[in-house]
Structure 1
Amino acid sequence: MIKLNNISIAFGHVALLDKIALRIDNKERVCLIGRNGEGKSTLLKIISREISADQGQVEYQTGCRIALLSQEPQFKANDTVFHAVAKSLGTVGELVEAYHNLVQRLAHNNDEDLLAQLETVQHRLEAEDGWRLEQRVETVLSKLKLPTEQKLGEMSGGWRRRVALAQVLVTEPDILLLDEPTNHLDIDAITWLEEILLEFKGGLLFISHDRRFMQRLATRIIELDRGQLTSYPGDYANYLRRKEASLAAESTQAAKFDKHLAQEEVWIRQGIKARRTRNEGRVRTLKKLREQRTQRREQIGKIRLNLDSGESSGRIVIEADAISKNYQNTPLIGDFSTLIMRGDRLGLIGPNGVGKTTLLKILLGELPPDTGTVKHGTKLSIAYFDQLRAQLDPEETVVDAIAQGQEMITINGHKKHVMSYLSDFLFAPARARSPVKSLSGGERNRLLLASLFTKPTNVLVLDEPTNDLDVETLELLEDLLSNYPGTLLLVSHDRHFLDNVVTSTIVFEGNGQIKEYVGGYQDWLRQRTVPHSAPTKKAAKPRAQKTRKLNYKEQRELADLPKLIETLETEQAELQNLISQPDFYRGEADQINQSLARLKTLEAELQTAYDRWEILEVLEN
């Protein structure tokens, strides 16, 4: 599908990409990994033609369509989902959107003028082969379960991410480029994205630091390291095995080279007699060895994390009793109790917007519950990693963000120069003097961790710390937290990270219901109760209180409800398909109105059936 030959690009005197070669075939799913700042996003932009390389060429298969999903897609807040996706198709997309808007208006007002406008748009769509594109937009929106009329300004970051994915999928690319697609997605959305990408028929090149996501999707790993690209066929687990062997071989080879160079340096410095008879060819070889040693780019040093746990807290850290919290009449937390002891490492799991950050703030005493009580133990020293990085002043320099004008800071009771401390977090002196606003997302997270770890703390609260961090930093952070003697509260959508760090998991299960499970993410999957034969429920009202057993008539009703719901859903799907056909509004007015009315009735019947099923199921259990 694409082939890169001898591609190089440099920023300043350091080559991000140094004469690299890459080939991607159809139906490959290739994961591009590497440390933050290595040039991964730059490589994607070169492939998508957003920027040009300094040298080399990219060859594309004839007619190859490429779409790039960037880390931070740009949207207009007032655009509807349908408009944002349709306009990806250009001029024809405008016709598709006009048709969609007219259909929506006719569903509520069967006006002759609207019918005339619809007929005009239909003729133009036929001339432009627009029906195929209109159906493509509808299919993608349906597959991604996107609300067509909702405005983007009203949607969360995770849902806007879905819209951005719809924008690229609707163009039916042959090559799909994804830059950190799981950032800001919750676990359910990440799992959903995995399924979508496994079904994708073209070639896929994606950047990710989510190890479980990589393991499930990638058919090949390519690593960008010090300007060079190395390919590892197979999955992520195979990459780890081969990478370890590769690093060992590189270290051995470098040691042999250095030994040979040292021997040659000794020879050239021998006495007068040896210099008079020296071999000029050997001198030239020595010069080349020196140049090679100068040009050899050592593997970048590892980040060094060291957390000061300070004085031990009391045995009981936080006790919450029957706390609840509502937001605009929606229950976020309902009658939840927990006892957090010293040394506990708790993970919080749930969809975006469900109330995880709210629960953290209530437990920390920053937000009062509507009902219930929260008590803190003694000698608590709390450090809070803010998900929105609000603690960082974008106008400050990196060094001032840590030391506030001081040259020395105290870490674990010892004085350390601030530049030395920042080098532990991979900030070179020039970068340390840069303003915070110039940092990448990964660099900002590293800076916030650096700031956090300067403070003695026995309760550590991390709200989404893993976004934008490279795999090596993630693994080092895992080791640090696993050995942390204090208490940890962690919000994360990184399943691998949760499994490796937490000892118990607090799960938001909807409608304000929160339960606590022993272990990490995989342990929760094994423990949770999932219905096997019933159709998927839609959003339901809060559960009824169990007061009695079902009588015989109610038992029969409960047994028949799944079949009834399936029948209603089938009719609803058939009717929606009929209404979406291009010639639907060309039919008789009575038939049009009858179909639209039946669709509205079906929605009401389905909701009644779901509510009844919910009530009977609670009574049965």
Structure 2
Amino acid sequence: MPLITLQSVDFSVGGPLLLDHVELSIDPGERIAVIGRNGAGKSTLLKLIAQEIHPDDGEVRYEAGVRVARLEQEVPADTAGDVFDVVAGGLGEQGALLARYHHLSHAAEVDTDALAEVQSRIEELGAWSLDQRVTETLTRLSIDGDRPFAGLSGGMRRRVMLARSLVSQPDVLLLDEPTNHLDIESIDWLEGFLKSWRGTLVFITHDRRFMRALATRIVEIDRGSLTSWPGDWDNYLRRREERLHSESQENARFDKMLAQEEVWIRQGIKARRTRDEGRVRRLKAMRDERMQRRDQTGKVRMEAAQADASGRKVIEVKDVSVVLGGRTILRDVSTTIMRGDRIGLIGPNGSGKTTLLKTLLGELTPDAGEVRAGSNLQIAYFDQYRATLREDWNAIENVAEGREFVEFNGRRKHIIGYLQDFLFTPERARAPITRLSGGERNRLLLARLFAQPSNLLVMDEPTNDLDVETLELLEDLLGDYSGTLLLVSHDRDFLDNVVTSTLVMEGDGRVGEYIGGYTDWVRQRSARVDVRPGRGEPPQAPQAAAPAVATPKRKLSYKEMRELEALPARIETLEADVARLTDALVDPSFYSRNAVSKSAHSVEMARAQAELDAAYARWAELDA
């Protein structure tokens, strides 16, 4: 029996219905992913399910006793106090009493009268069991209840808000973009936790890997209608393409028939004969039906303005160290970035990715070492905090900066037409920035970014708030970009689909360098040895870590002796393969290849590098 049922639900915020006669049943144990374009009504649907807002028509019905909790997209700005207070706040008045008791009982000087009064009230409400529930929830999510909420990282704040949602023991948990602003480590933790949680889950996300891992059903909102697709993400993509193709064919057939009827009605007096009145009425009905049709919103059309090619060597870094506030953020970092490289930066929030970017771009002077920029660099920078958007300007002013046209790869394009490529109507293009949604702001930043001629593109978290379709178009654009790319992202699929190598913040200021994207890094890091050469340097023999307790060396078997003797030649061959594949990336003709060829080359590079890492690890093991 469904826990929650939506029957014939309508909801409007002005203009066409945001949700039009929606039907939805939510069954126990389901994990439902809600998807759709930015502004399609996904967050509105969650608020309706949570009964925070009410439909204009129709009904949202709960089964008796069903409890629902919703984790909002953003942490409320007024959230304050210790972590225990915030989590207990999910229990209403009883939670507030428990938080008060927690503070009084932990105070340096206990106010016995106040403590007794609170204890009496808790006993009166029978709320002592809830204190244990708060403690168990904090323990389960590995959270310290005595820490101030304001001092937590973004990822830990989201974890605390999740604990606040779970402490009421909901039957249905609603999550709105739970991975936004989380680093990869936090996303992995959340994914694992939700897989083990036994309740019913309804969530909105643009993270395709997160969706693949969790969703048992996908619900799509498109032009006010809601459709349900059992199965996983890949099944949805396949069946959605079939539906859109069928819809397109049916619309084309209808439009052709309507056009024929419009020609007939204009033929003159024959159409007004009595015996043709039925046909006239049918034409009027067809016109009404066509007016009611809500065509699919167009796709974003992206193209990056290209600058002249940079020098072959874009940035060279030698033994760079950066210390901020007494903490070593970068330690002895060396790398060389060549023209055409597409490099992903991976690491936890606060690990130094932005510091590394600023150092590479010359915005931050290192405390030791040297950074050399190549020749003829033209840099375009996407800032995750939207600092490059002026709040007192509208979309047109932010992109055109007083010009009527933008110059684009040898063409002139009117600013309104250019913004329409990014799905801004003339009205939205003239609207104040403060009225734009998060997704619209991100699209505006992309429009501003790609209007700048560049040969070095720097993107810091460009995927937040973008719908999946726009994400995939951005992937295609970056795959075809002829310049050099530096990309910070926590979207694992996006990294896999875009970058050819990664720089990974590995703690204590160390930066590791890997061939391939996120999945390649995960595969290689288990085989990675402690010492790794920088790009372009000859590999050095790995140093085996000294064991805590000395143990006698085991004598190698005959087979192992033969393997050890053969490894140097094997390593030399693999080094040559990696060097050959790396050199191919520097050749400008490489980027004229088709996408399949470039993808195959990336896979081959990842395989060769992984085999080399494994060979070094095996050599160190046998030699020790």
TM bucket, shorter chain: 0.7 to 0.9
Q: Which moved more, 1:335-344 or 1:163-172?
A: 163-172
Q: Is 2:165 the counterpart of 1:164?
A: no
Measure the CA separation in 1 of the matches of 2:283 and 2:545: 91
Q: Is 2:360 the counterpart of 1:358?
A: no
Q: In the alignment, which residue of structure 2 is the partner of 1:587?
A: none
Match of 2:44 among 35, 42, 45: 42
Match of 2:456 among 455, 459, 467: 459
Residues 259-282 of structure 1: CA deviation (Å, up to 9, x unaligned) = 111222222223434532542222
Residues 214-262 of structure 1: CA deviation (Å, up to 9, x unaligned) = 0011000010001110110011111011111111111111111111112
Q: In the alignment, which residue of structure 2 is the partner of 1:19?
A: 21
SS in 2 for 1:172: coil
In structure 2, give the amino acid aligned to 1:470.
Answer: D
Q: In the alignment, which residue of structure 2 is the partner of 1:577?
A: none
1:124-523 equivalences in 2 (<5 Å) = 124-523=121-520
CA-CA distance at 1:411 after TM superposition: 1.3
Q: In the alignment, which residue of structure 1 is the partner of 2:66?
A: 64
Q: In the alignment, which residue of structure 2 is the partner of 1:524?
A: 521
In structure 1, give the amino acid aligned to 2:523.
Answer: R
TM-score (norm 1): 0.83
Measure the CA separation in 2 of the matches of 1:550 and 1:5: 66
Answer whether contact 2:359 2:365 (CA < 8 A) is retained: yes
Residues 127-174 of structure 1: CA deviation (Å, up to 9, x unaligned) = 433232112111221222223222222222222111211111111111
CA-CA distance at 1:530 after TM superposition: 7.5
Q: 1:554 to 1:133 in 2, by over 3 A?
A: farther
CA-CA distance at 1:4 after TM superposition: 0.8
CA-CA distance at 1:99 after TM superposition: 3.7
Q: 1:555 to 1:75 in 2, by over 3 A?
A: farther
> Structure 1 unaligned runs (5+)?
532-544, 557-619
SS in 2 for 1:319: strand
Q: 1:502 to 1:550 in 2, by over 3 A?
A: closer
Measure the CA separation in 2 of the matches of 1:13 and 1:384: 36
CA-CA distance at 1:100 after TM superposition: 2.9
CA-CA distance at 1:125 after TM superposition: 3.6
SS in 2 for 1:192: helix
Answer whether contact 2:79 2:86 (CA < 8 A) is retained: no
Measure the CA separation in 2 of the matches of 1:273 and 1:223: 47
Measure the CA separation in 1 of the matches of 2:362 and 2:93: 54
SS in 2 for 1:444: helix
Measure the CA separation in 1 of the matches of 2:307 and 2:527: 43
Answer whether contact 1:10 1:16 (CA < 8 A) is retained: yes
Measure the CA separation in 1 of the matches of 2:48 and 2:79: 29
Answer whether contact 2:457 2:486 (CA < 8 A) is retained: yes
In structure 1, give the amino acid aligned to 2:514.
Answer: Y
Answer whether contact 1:77 1:151 (CA < 8 A) is retained: no
Measure the CA separation in 1 of the matches of 2:156 and 2:85: 15
Answer whether contact 2:80 2:86 (CA < 8 A) is retained: no
Q: 1:435 to 1:75 in 2, by over 3 A?
A: closer
In structure 1, give the amino acid aligned to 2:412.
Answer: K
Q: In the alignment, which residue of structure 2 is the partner of 1:8?
A: 10
Answer whether contact 2:30 2:200 (CA < 8 A) is retained: yes
Answer whether contact 2:271 2:280 (CA < 8 A) is retained: no
Measure the CA separation in 2 of the matches of 1:407 and 1:548: 63
Measure the CA separation in 2 of the matches of 1:274 and 1:126: 84
In structure 1, give the amino acid aligned to 2:256.
Answer: K
> Structure 2 unaligned runs (5+)?
529-541, 553-622
Residues 585-616 of structure 1: CA deviation (Å, up to 9, x unaligned) = xxxxxxxxxxxxxxxxxxxxxxxxxxxxxxxx
SS in 1 for 2:504: strand
Residues 359-409 of structure 1: CA deviation (Å, up to 9, x unaligned) = 000000001112111000000000110111101111211111111232212
Residues 447-505 of structure 1: CA deviation (Å, up to 9, x unaligned) = 00000111100000000000000001000000000111100000000000000000001
Measure the CA separation in 2 of the matches of 1:549 and 1:389: 48
SS in 1 for 2:513: strand
Residues 533-575 of structure 1: CA deviation (Å, up to 9, x unaligned) = xxxxxxxxxxxx9899558x5559xxxxxxxxxxxxxxxxxxx
In structure 2, give the amino acid aligned to 1:367.
Answer: L
Measure the CA separation in 1 of the matches of 2:319 and 2:180: 33
In structure 2, give the amino acid aligned to 1:57.
Answer: E
Measure the CA separation in 2 of the matches of 1:554 and 1:79: 50
Q: Which moved more, 1:421-430 or 1:118-127?
A: 118-127
SS in 1 for 2:503: strand
In structure 2, give the amino acid aligned to 1:27.
Answer: G
Q: Which moved more, 1:508-517 or 1:219-228?
A: 508-517
Answer whether contact 1:75 1:152 (CA < 8 A) is retained: no
In structure 2, give the amino acid aligned to 1:328.
Answer: G
SS in 2 for 1:15: coil
Q: 1:58 to 1:376 in 2, by over 3 A?
A: same
Q: Which moved more, 1:269-278 or 1:454-463?
A: 269-278
SS in 1 for 2:17: strand
Answer whether contact 1:76 1:153 (CA < 8 A) is retained: no
Calculate percent identity across the aligned residue pairs.
56
CA-CA distance at 1:80 after TM superposition: 1.3
Answer whether contact 1:141 1:166 (CA < 8 A) is retained: yes
Measure the CA separation in 1 of the matches of 2:441 and 2:421: 15
Residues 94-127 of structure 1: CA deviation (Å, up to 9, x unaligned) = 332234335544xxx6x7x578876765555444
SS in 1 for 2:180: coil
Measure the CA separation in 2 of the matches of 1:412 and 1:309: 6
In structure 2, give the amino acid aligned to 1:163.
Answer: V
Q: 1:114 to 1:49 in 2, by over 3 A?
A: same
In structure 2, give the amino acid aligned to 1:522.
Answer: T
Measure the CA separation in 2 of the matches of 1:33 and 1:499: 22
Measure the CA separation in 2 of the matches of 1:547 and 1:161: 39
SS in 2 for 1:88: helix
Q: 1:58 to 1:549 in 2, by over 3 A?
A: closer
Measure the CA separation in 1 of the matches of 2:547 and 2:261: 91
Answer whether contact 2:343 2:501 (CA < 8 A) is retained: yes
